[in-house]
Chain A
Amino acid sequence: MGGPETETTEEQHGAAPAAPPGAARPDVAGDTYAPLVAADVGSVYTKVFWVEEVQGERRLMAVGRAPTLGPDGTPAPGEALGAALAQALQRAGRAADTKPSRRLLMTSTAAVPRLTIVAPTAGELRTLSSVMERLPVRLLDPIRLDGPGRDLEHVLTQLESQAPDAVLIAGGNRGHERDLAHRAVEAITRGFGGQAPLLLLVGDDAFVTRVAPLLKHARYAVAGADAAAVLGLAERYVEERLASSWSAHTHLGPWQTEARATGSLQGICAATELIAERYDVDVLTLDLGAAHALAVACISQGGRRRVATVTREDLGLRLGRQAILREAGAAAVGAWLPVDVDPAVLRHDARLGVAVPAGLPESVDDLLLEHAFAREALRLVLDELTVRLGDGNGGALPPVDLVIGSGGVLAGVPRLTQATLILLDVVQPDALTQLALDRATALPLLGQLGLAEGADALGAALERDGLLNLGLCIAPVGTGKEGEPAIRVEVGYASRPALTVEVAVGAIEVVPLPTGERAALKLWPARDFDIGLGRGAAATPRAEVEGGAVGIIIDARGRPLARQDSPEKRQAKLLQWLQSTGAYPHFSFVQSSPPGVADEPGSAA
């Protein structure tokens, strides 16, 4: 059964988004509509969000977008902000000179600090790693001073190759540990001189006093010994670094005088935590931009809520394809494609990503390639996050209730099923999982508003404007013979006859349940399959299921995703999945396909 596409082509093609359904147009002269304008300056695109109060609720009225890079390929944020704002105002039906009551400025450019943790013992390394894990920073390989770090040249060589922006150095608890820490501080300050990274000193007064004479010409900041103080220091450092790098931009007018630069990635982390708290669910957000990849999980562990992030500033989908190829391998990227692709083609594509960062996939083949890179970039960050959540002890990703896709790559998919498949292929959730998409790339905005004004100030309406419910994924876990039934699902619609679907092992199907509709589900997994209640145990969830833009996705492809023995079988399977879900238009490599929309009569192929 093909995937229903419930999105409107109008919004897909960038027509002015209408005011929220049922909203009265505010009277500018009369009502207080208190417009807020927020900007998110990315490495390749700048977005501007126009938010107004409509009937007492904050609503996202329009989004404008413009390239961040100027004609010479260097960042031109001033021009980009102006163009994006003009577009947002036009789409919101506002005059070009409309003034907002407030501005909010976010950026993801140069916004991922690289941090190395240096500590005397493994225990302190773990403690500091767990404190830092909630921040969107790139945590580089830590250095343990009572191990390889006893050799100061090892410490200095590692720091030299890592080139961190800051080093978090722990002072130790016992005499010997303190000696190691003091020795390391001495080596770093002497070793790098004026080019030493910022030192963030973690320890008690005795440690700080002892290293003080070493810090005469060094840049440093001091946290106390407790986790809250360390986290506070690190957060301040991240904010100050962002503000400092942003201050190099001039001629930004009111964006400089009326707003303070904040981090888009911090916004995404905050939004993830906010949603998790508000709905008391475990959430995983995967964010993929042109220049970064981020995975953030907010999950319940041991009776408390844990926030863990992995940020990679080198795995962005446009600027990071070289790194993706290097780390994942051309074979891994190619494995997501239903045809053979020469690694030279992948390398060329990676070069184009840097040379033409705003480039677009022209053909379906180009789109498949882009999405293959996207899967590997997100898989790499998710693998790191999985290790972190397991505290280095191995194991699988803990189950989550909600997976959110964010970033321009996922938001810009022409068919929502594509984003759905990317999320499912990367996360491979089992049992029941809700999927959502940050269709308006507004997740950073939701997060920063929540941080600035408190979670309660962030209305449900604004949240609904930003996040799109894709649907519910039902993924039975187990082993069975290819083609045999894995699960039977009955969808009891409110206003039409119930639909029963049987999905075979190795298959994926989409059952329509549009946004705004609800349905009752009954699930009958096959004997050797588990939907979360034990093998073969059927289930009738108590509550009805909300419809989503894609529908109900029944994913019986196996966990982990079954990989075929031969490339031919793998490609055939991929093709089957893509076709059964209707994720893409016709493929050039499948015969008897009609010509594409943009093919010109008589044009060169």
Chain B
Amino acid sequence: MNSTPAMDTPRPPSLAGRILQLALGPEGPAAPPAAPQPGHAGRPLVSQGRIRRRRTWAGDEAEVTVQPGDEVGPGHVIARLQRTGRTTALDAAAALGVPAGQVGASLLRQVGDMLAEGDLLAERRSLGGFQRRTMHSTASGRITYISPDHGTIFVEPAAVERQVLAHLSGRVVEATPSGVVIEGNALAVHGVAGAGRAAVGLLMLADAPHNLPPEASGAIVACAFPLDEPAVGALTEAGAAAVIAPGADKATLQRLGWDDFLWSPRARSDRWGPRATPPLTIVFLGVGPSEAPPRLWEVLRPLAGRPASALGAEPGAPSELLIGLDDGSSGAPPPAPLLAPGAAVRLIAGRAEGQMGKVVAVRRGVFRLASEIGTEVVEVAFPDGAQLHVPAVHVQLLP
């Protein structure tokens, strides 16, 4: 250790000699913990009443088929989108070994022709016909353009029509080229994640894996149990349109590779066409493999057999199950979710994730968790007698 301290060491043009003198001062106001409205929970599991849903699509050319005032059902096609996949560019000049301007002379097909993959596109003979070079199409579609400048042949695949379903039955209140807003009376079951577009069918309930409905083709199946591979397989084979489940076995998620499209925010963007999706629309009510709250089952049971719509993931849309409540009345908007003593709740995160209990008290002010994070909390009592202070944002109101 150097025992002679250097006195006023000459300051080199390096970092060490420059002690920073910042006018950084005492603390200003720290960002406060978020203040949800006192007494309000993160989100409810179920909402019921007059709701609105905006159906939108990203960047596709759309033909909107409804106008304000129209009455629609959940399966009503409100827009048709023409989605053309990416055109393939075939470098004919390089393939044939000719300058771009000579490609035309070798072509056997022309603009507007339909091609199948492998079709002969062009042929060039040289050396008195003894040398032959051919070019086959690597794509199926229609020749849309042949570049005179570069000898590139562009093959456009057939357009795929995608239909946008209403999802909510009710009345169209707004219709523009970029979206449609529908208002109607419905019961909404809110998911935390999902995959797949809106799917419409009759609501069927399955309270146990061995009780899957035998005639599930085209149905929206609400399962009271977490999904595992056999259940997914059975529902897919039965042709179910969608499944609502409290969650899935972690190993199942891992093995099926569903993490990418269930939990990736970018999975909701379908700019270049839909990303890989599971074979049926999925809505999960939680993350872990918990059971469905019994109270949810009490709400859904009388609605079995009704038309329903399940939406897993679409741009700007929540994952949810909607069941139309067409009782002829205009209905009122769902009441704001309110946490109050006695309310039945489920925890959607934290150490008691998946457990259900009752609100004992809503604490005013900020409470310090064991992590020392300060936040608004709710005191929840559980069936086993335990009581916990949990962050309000971890609490979901049950019906």
By a beta-carbon cutoff of 8 Å, the part of chain A in contact with chain B is: 7-8, 11-15, 17, 20-21, 45, 47, 60-67, 70-74, 83, 87, 91, 151-153, 156, 160, 163, 179, 182-183, 186-187, 190-195, 279, 281, 291, 314, 319-320, 322-323, 344, 347-348, 350-356, 358-364, 366-367, 399-402, 408, 411-412, 414-415, 431-434, 436, 439-442, 460, 463-469, 472, 485, 488, 515-516, 521-522, 524-527, 531-533, 536-543, 545-546, 548-549, 585, 596-600, 602-604
Instruction: Judge whether A354 and B386 touch: CB under 8 Å.
Output: no
Which of B11, B16, B32 is within 8 Å of A531, CB to CB?
A: B16
Which of A187, A356, A599 is within 8 Å of B348, CB to CB?
A: A356
> How far is it, in angstroms, between the C-alpha of A350 and the C-alpha of B253 when the chains are bound?
13
- Chain B residue contacts of A186, Cβ below 8 A: 147, 149-150, 152
Instruction: Judge whether B272 and A160 touch: CB under 8 Å.
Output: yes
Number of A-B contacts (CB under 8 A): 382
B306, CB-defined interface residue at 8 Å: no
- Chain A residue contacts of B3, Cβ below 8 A: 524
- Chain A residue contacts of B188, Cβ below 8 A: 72
**7 residue pairs A–B, Cβ–Cβ below 8 Å:** A91-B29, A351-B259, A401-B15, A464-B23, A485-B1, A524-B5, A538-B5
- B222, chain A: closest CB distance, angstroms: 18
- Chain B residue contacts of A436, Cβ below 8 A: 22, 24
- A289, chain B: closest CB distance, angstroms: 12
> How far is it, in angstroms, between the C-alpha of A87 and the C-alpha of B35 when the chains are bound?
8
- Chain B residue contacts of A351, Cβ below 8 A: 193, 253, 259, 262-263, 287
Given contacts A361-B371, A538-B4, contact A63 B29 (CB under 8 A): yes
Instruction: Judge whether B19 and A542 touch: CB under 8 Å.
Output: yes
Select from chain A the residue with minimum beta-carbon distance to B154: A190
Instruction: Judge whether A441 and B31 touch: CB under 8 Å.
Output: yes
Name the 10 nearest CB pairs between A and B, nearest first.
Answer: A532-B16, A17-B29, A596-B370, A465-B28, A414-B372, A469-B24, A464-B25, A14-B32, A355-B192, A604-B386
- Chain A residue contacts of B128, Cβ below 8 A: none
B2, CB-defined interface residue at 8 Å: yes
Residue in A13, A45, A186 with the greatest tally of chain B CB atoms within 10 Å: A13
Which of B88, B316, B336, B351 is within 8 Å of A363, CB to CB?
A: B351
- B260, chain A: closest CB distance, angstroms: 8
Instruction: Judge whether A440 and B29 touch: CB under 8 Å.
Output: yes
> How far is it, in angstroms, between the C-alpha of A358 and the C-alpha of B41 when the chains are bound?
12
Interface majority SS (helix, strand, loop, mixed), chain B: loop
- Chain A residue contacts of B134, Cβ below 8 A: none
- A355, chain B: closest CB distance, angstroms: 4
- Chain A residue contacts of B288, Cβ below 8 A: 348
By a beta-carbon cutoff of 8 Å, the part of chain B in contact with chain A is: 1-9, 11-12, 14-37, 41-44, 47, 59-61, 84, 86-91, 144-145, 147, 149-150, 152, 154, 156, 188, 190, 192-193, 250, 253-254, 259-260, 262-266, 269, 271-272, 284, 286-288, 316-320, 336-337, 348-353, 366-375, 382, 384-391, 393-394
Instruction: Judge whether A291 and B370 touch: CB under 8 Å.
Output: no
Instruction: Judge whether B9 and A195 touch: CB under 8 Å.
Output: no
- B356, chain A: closest CB distance, angstroms: 13
Instruction: Judge whether A71 and B43 touch: CB under 8 Å.
Output: yes
> How far is it, in angstroms, between the C-alpha of A186 and the C-alpha of B148 when the chains are bound?
11
Instruction: Judge whether B31 and A465 touch: CB under 8 Å.
Output: no
Given contacts A348-B287, A537-B9, contact A195 B271 (CB under 8 A): yes
Instruction: Judge whether B144 and A190 touch: CB under 8 Å.
Output: yes
Instruction: Judge whether B26 and A515 touch: CB under 8 Å.
Output: yes
Instruction: Judge whether A532 and B19 touch: CB under 8 Å.
Output: no
- Chain B residue contacts of A359, Cβ below 8 A: 349-350, 391, 393-394
Given contacts A160-B272, A323-B264, contact A279 B20 (CB under 8 A): yes
- Chain B residue contacts of A360, Cβ below 8 A: 350, 369, 371, 373, 375, 391, 393-394
Select from chain B the residue with minimum beta-carbon distance to A74: B318
> How far is it, in angstroms, between the C-alpha of A599 and the C-alpha of B386 when the chains are bound?
11
- Chain A residue contacts of B389, Cβ below 8 A: 598, 600
> How far is it, in angstroms, between the C-alpha of A320 and the C-alpha of B17 when the chains are bound?
40
Which of B8, B264, B271, B371 is within 8 Å of A322, CB to CB?
A: B264
Instruction: Judge whether B385 and A468 touch: CB under 8 Å.
Output: no
Instruction: Judge whether A72 and B43 touch: CB under 8 Å.
Output: yes
Select from chain A the residue with minimum beta-carbon distance to B190: A72
Which of A61, A156, A362, A460 is within 8 Å of B89, CB to CB?
A: A156
Instruction: Judge whether B373 and A600 touch: CB under 8 Å.
Output: no
Instruction: Judge whether A83 and B15 touch: CB under 8 Å.
Output: no
Instruction: Judge whether B391 and A536 touch: CB under 8 Å.
Output: no
- Chain B residue contacts of A515, Cβ below 8 A: 25-27
| Additional A-B contacts beyond A351-B262, A360-B371 (8; CB < 8 A) | A15-B366, A74-B318, A192-B87, A364-B372, A366-B350, A472-B20, A536-B2, A539-B6
Given contacts A64-B35, A469-B22, contact A11 B30 (CB under 8 A): yes
Which of A13, A60, A62, A543 is within 8 Å of B366, CB to CB?
A: A13
- Chain B residue contacts of A348, Cβ below 8 A: 250, 287-288
Select from chain A the residue with minimum beta-carbon distance to B259: A322
- Chain B residue contacts of A540, Cβ below 8 A: 5-9
- Chain A residue contacts of B9, Cβ below 8 A: 533, 537-540
Instruction: Judge whether B272 and A163 touch: CB under 8 Å.
Output: yes
Given contacts A431-B15, A532-B15, contact A538 B149 (CB under 8 A): no
Instruction: Judge whether A61 and B29 touch: CB under 8 Å.
Output: yes
- Chain A residue contacts of B17, Cβ below 8 A: 532-533, 539, 541
Which of A8, A152, A352 is within 8 Å of B27, CB to CB?
A: A8
Instruction: Judge whether A362 and B386 touch: CB under 8 Å.
Output: no
Instruction: Judge whether A356 and B1 touch: CB under 8 Å.
Output: no
Which of B19, B59, B373 is within 8 Å of A361, CB to CB?
A: B373
- Chain A residue contacts of B28, Cβ below 8 A: 17, 20, 60, 439-440, 442, 464-468
- Chain A residue contacts of B369, Cβ below 8 A: 360-363, 596-598
- Chain A residue contacts of B349, Cβ below 8 A: 352, 355-356, 359
> How far is it, in angstroms, between the C-alpha of A548 and the C-alpha of B27 when the chains are bound?
10
Which of A163, A366, A516, A602 is within 8 Å of B271, CB to CB?
A: A163
> How far is it, in angstroms, between the C-alpha of A221 and the C-alpha of B352 when the chains are bound?
53
Instruction: Judge whether A362 and B16 touch: CB under 8 Å.
Output: no
- Chain A residue contacts of B286, Cβ below 8 A: 355
- B358, chain A: closest CB distance, angstroms: 15
Which of B259, B269, B353 is within 8 Å of A347, CB to CB?
A: B259
- Chain A residue contacts of B262, Cβ below 8 A: 351
Instruction: Judge whether B264 and A598 touch: CB under 8 Å.
Output: no
> How far is it, in angstroms, between the C-alpha of A400 and the C-alpha of B318 when the chains are bound?
44
- B159, chain A: closest CB distance, angstroms: 10
Select from chain A the residue with minimum beta-carbon distance to B56: A248
Instruction: Judge whether A356 and B370 touch: CB under 8 Å.
Output: no
Instruction: Judge whether A347 and B250 touch: CB under 8 Å.
Output: yes
Instruction: Judge whether B2 and A13 touch: CB under 8 Å.
Output: no
Instruction: Judge whether B84 and A182 touch: CB under 8 Å.
Output: no
- A20, chain B: closest CB distance, angstroms: 7
> How far is it, in angstroms, between the C-alpha of A364 and the C-alpha of B385 when the chains are bound?
24
- Chain A residue contacts of B149, Cβ below 8 A: 182-183, 186
Instruction: Judge whether B259 and A65 touch: CB under 8 Å.
Output: no
Instruction: Judge whether A13 and B368 touch: CB under 8 Å.
Output: yes
Select from chain A the residue with minimum beta-carbon distance to B43: A71
- Chain B residue contacts of A537, Cβ below 8 A: 2, 6, 9
Residue in A21, A358, A408 with the greatest tally of chain B CB atoms within 10 Å: A358
> How far is it, in angstroms, between the C-alpha of A108 and the C-alpha of B264 when the chains are bound?
18
- A473, chain B: closest CB distance, angstroms: 11
Instruction: Judge whether A464 and B89 touch: CB under 8 Å.
Output: no
Instruction: Judge whether A411 and B16 touch: CB under 8 Å.
Output: no
Which of B11, B89, B371, B375 is within 8 Å of A153, CB to CB?
A: B89
Select from chain B the residue with minimum beta-carbon distance to A469: B24
- Chain A residue contacts of B317, Cβ below 8 A: 74
- Chain A residue contacts of B375, Cβ below 8 A: 360
> How far is it, in angstroms, between the C-alpha of A358 and the C-alpha of B192 when the chains are bound?
12
- Chain B residue contacts of A153, Cβ below 8 A: 88-91
Given contacts A191-B89, A322-B264, contact A600 B388 (CB under 8 A): yes
- Chain B residue contacts of A193, Cβ below 8 A: 84, 87, 156
> How far is it, in angstroms, between the C-alpha of A434 and the C-alpha of B23 when the chains are bound?
12
Instruction: Judge whether B16 and A533 touch: CB under 8 Å.
Output: yes
